[in-house]
């Protein structure tokens, strides 16, 4: 993951494997270009179908699991997430591969320390998230409804203020699964 202007860019593990020669996908859909000079250009959200990601906490270097706790990283389904773009807004539904449900702030509560949950994916702001730049190769994962950041507190995923750059509220988003591409079927005559 790296920053390109104001957007967060996710790097694929092998250059060119999933996204072309650059090996990265700009998934933000946020404006790009030179906004200071008045030349922003809108990037369309990348098609992320088939890409699986790990959410790695910057403080512990452990992964967020489908149980919404952190554990040492693995590549099995409980540690895999999918980012599904919501229009061209730069926001996402973050879908658990194991449960096929979305990361959410149940009830849309903005209370600091409220536990994150998994709920059926729906077009609700409490189930939409954005990525905000943070130091190094990290991003803050911000709930659209509450404006609070996803963070780890005593090993559990909660929301809290996005102020400061403490590692518990910063995440590395790493590609762990690439899309499957099938060759066209051929027949012999």
CATH number where 112 lies: 2.80.10.50
Distance from C-alpha of 16 to C-alpha of 60, rounded to nearest angstrom: 30
Distance from C-alpha of 13 to C-alpha of 186, rounded to nearest angstrom: 31
pLDDT top residue among 137 and 117: 117
Distance from C-alpha of 9 to C-alpha of 28, rounded to nearest angstrom: 8
In a domain, 132, yes or no: yes
pLDDT top residue among 115 and 1: 115
Strand partners, 151: 158
Q: Is the model's pLDDT at 23 over the cut of 80?
A: no
Strand bridging mode 129-133 / 139-143? antiparallel
In a domain, 7, yes or no: no
Domain that holds residue 157: 48-177
pLDDT top residue among 70 and 87: 70
DSSP string, 64-76: E-TTSBEES--SS
Distance from C-alpha of 189 to C-alpha of 174, rounded to nearest angstrom: 45
Distance from C-alpha of 111 to C-alpha of 105, rounded to nearest angstrom: 10
Arithmetic mean of pLDDT, 123-139: 90
In a domain, 28, yes or no: no
In a domain, 85, yes or no: yes
Q: Is the full-model pTM beyond 0.85?
A: no
pLDDT of residue 5: 42
Distance from C-alpha of 59 to C-alpha of 134, rounded to nearest angstrom: 13
In a domain, 89, yes or no: yes
Plot region of 38 (φ>0 → left; ψ -120 to 50 → alpha; else → beta): left
What SS3 class is residue 35? helix
In a domain, 35, yes or no: no
In a domain, 27, yes or no: no
Q: Is the model's pLDDT at 52 over the cut of 60?
A: yes
Structural domain count, the chain: 1
Strand bridging mode 52-57 / 171-177? antiparallel
> What would the pLDDT profile of 143-179 be if each residue is shown by its tens digit?
999 999 999 999 999 999 999 989 999 999 999 977 5
pLDDT top residue among 36 and 130: 130
In a domain, 25, yes or no: no
- Determine how many CB atoms are found less than 10 A away from the CB of residue 93: 20
């Amino acid at each position: 993951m790296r920053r390109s202007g104001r957007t967060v860019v996710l790097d694929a593990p092998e250059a060119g494997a999933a996204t072309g020669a650059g090996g990265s996908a700009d998934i933000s859909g946020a404006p790009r270009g030179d906004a200071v000079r008045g030349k922003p250009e809108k990037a369309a959200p990348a098609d992320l179908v088939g890409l699986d990601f790990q959410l790695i906490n910057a403080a512990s270097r452990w992964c967020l699991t489908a149980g919404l706790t952190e554990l040492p990283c693995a590549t099995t389904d409980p540690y895999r997430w999918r980012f599904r773009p919501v229009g061209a807004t730069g926001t996402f539904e973050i879908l658990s591969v194991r449960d096929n449900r979305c990361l959410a702030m149940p009830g849309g509560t903005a209370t600091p320390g409220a536990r994150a949950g998994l709920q059926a994916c729906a077009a609700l702001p409490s189930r939409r998230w954005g990525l905000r730049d943070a130091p190094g190769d990290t991003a803050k994962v911000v709930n659209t409804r509450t404006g609070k950041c996803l963070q780890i507190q005593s090993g559990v995923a909660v929301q809290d203020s996005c102020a400061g750059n403490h590692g518990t509220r910063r995440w590395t988003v790493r590609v762990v699964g690439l899309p499957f591409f099938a060759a066209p079927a051929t027949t012999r005559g």
